[in-house]
Structure 1
Amino acid sequence: MPDSRILHVNVGAVREVEWRGRLVTTGIWKAPVEGRVALRCVNFAGDDQADRTVHGGPDKAVYAYSREDYDFWREEEGFDTPPGLFGENLTVDGIDLSAALVGERWSVGSTVLEIAQPRMPCFKLGLRVGDAHFPRRFQRAGRPGAYFRVVQEGEVGAGDAVRVLERPDHGITLRYMTEVLTDRGKAAALRAVPNLPEFWDDIAHGRIALE
């Protein structure tokens, strides 16, 4: 990825939003920040998640979405796509995230990040874009973005290059993982991936039934 780079670093605090007659707490509203932003443990400075049982945490510490995938939503689906719309911390350019390998390690700024899993959208993505049915459209599009673990803390800023440090040899991409959700015959192959998040490990070993 010789020309891959960070377009925006996006953060956002938790807020309350009314959704279908009730108040919901969410950190999905994120916006670009200037300068270099510290990444410590599981969060960028100024960023937070409302419920770390399903968002954030070690296996979802950083979420990235690509400019190329945003182009799809803008050109094919008619979306206005400001940076941070889908709640990503890093808006990246020059990267096919769906083709990235689980366990792949990136050097970004002074950090090292490891791809952990694709995004499984919940209702809060629909809340963010004002369409309760959008999470299903997002899932069907096969453009999930990437969740990362933090291997090395540091700082990241817009314009930083993205460099791949390591690529595992199992061949399991984020696209393949999303395909597993609709093709249970592919699930066993996930067992070749070290350090799978619990949800995906359960799928790989048949502890979660797929439709």
Structure 2
Amino acid sequence: MNDARLASVNIGTGIANPHKKTHLTGINKLAQPGRWEVRAPGPKQGGLRSGLVGDFVGDPRHHGGDSQALYAYGREELDDWESRLGRELPNGFFGENLTTTGLDVNGARLGEVWQVGDIVQLRVTTPRIPCNTFRGWVGERGWLKTFTAAARPGAYLSVVTPGFISAGDAVMVIHRPDHDVTIELSYRALTLERELLPRLLAAGDDLDPELRETAVGTAR
């Protein structure tokens, strides 16, 4: 954990999206040099969409907003997918804003807080749930089933403290809740192992309101 860093900060611009009715997508994220501003974008509808200034979100109904301000994925996971798929996967290819190294993104607990660089603080909120845009972008037969079975979805983040970030910044876990509800566990509960949903309630106040509603409805 002490050696965790940002491998890259990735920005997407709007391109045609033949896989959804939203016409445009920002999944085509590319690693960028320089410093990039991070701030809370506000609500999904009517807000600034992405928490990374300059990034594009094409489907504000399902993506962006405060609880999905940024998306992080580990370079180590991309390397493993490269081996499995037999193709190059550059930083940002999974649509992540932040490609990390040395950080267990999928083992992060809901509510965990990361400090990036000297100022920016980000809070782990929910797992990424793959959609048709992701399926079409990757272009592998049966990709959604393959990705879901692996249960390594990466994490959405909210912005606790705004500021500027850049590739090479250190990432420190400065708060780790005492529950055991991780990104991986919550993803498994939301996809192939719905019987795990009641376990998400152990996250207490760290549980995203939408996840809480789903978990409470199952526990009744």
Partner of 1:69: 77
Higher share in strand: 1
Name the SS of the counterpart of 1:96 in structure 2: coil
Identity %: 38
Partner of 2:108: 100
Partner of 1:153: 162
* AA partner of residue 40 (structure 1): R
Partner of 2:193: 183
TM-score w.r.t. the length of structure 1 is: 0.91
- Structure-2 separation of matches of 1:72 and 1:143: 11
Partner of 1:197: 208
How many residue pairs are counted as aligned between the two chains?
A: 208
Contact 2:135–2:144 under 8 Å retained in 1 = yes
Alpha-carbon deviation of 1:173? 0.8
RMSD: 2.0
- Structure-1 separation of matches of 2:194 and 2:152: 20
Contact 1:104–1:167 under 8 Å retained in 2 = yes
Change (3 A) 1:132 1:75: closer
1:1-211 correspondence to structure 2 within 5 Å: 1-19=1-19, 24-42=23-41, 43-109=51-117, 110-131=119-140, 133-181=142-190, 182-193=192-203, 194-206=205-217
TM-score w.r.t. the length of structure 2 is: 0.87
**Which deviates the most, 115-124 or 10-19?**
10-19
**Which deviates the most, 46-55 or 11-20?**
11-20
Contact 1:202–1:208 under 8 Å retained in 2 = no
Alpha-carbon deviation of 1:207? 5.5
Query: What whole-Å deviation, never above 9, does each CA across 1:104-141 have from its counterpart, x for those lacking one?
Result: 00000221000001110001111211246322221111
**Which deviates the most, 92-101 or 71-80?**
71-80
Moved over 3 A (4+): 17-20
Unaligned runs of 5+ in 1: none
Unaligned runs of 5+ in 2: 42-50
- Structure-1 separation of matches of 2:28 and 2:157: 19
Query: What whole-Å deviation, never above 9, does each CA across 1:133-154 have from its counterpart, x for those lacking one?
Result: 3222211111100100000100
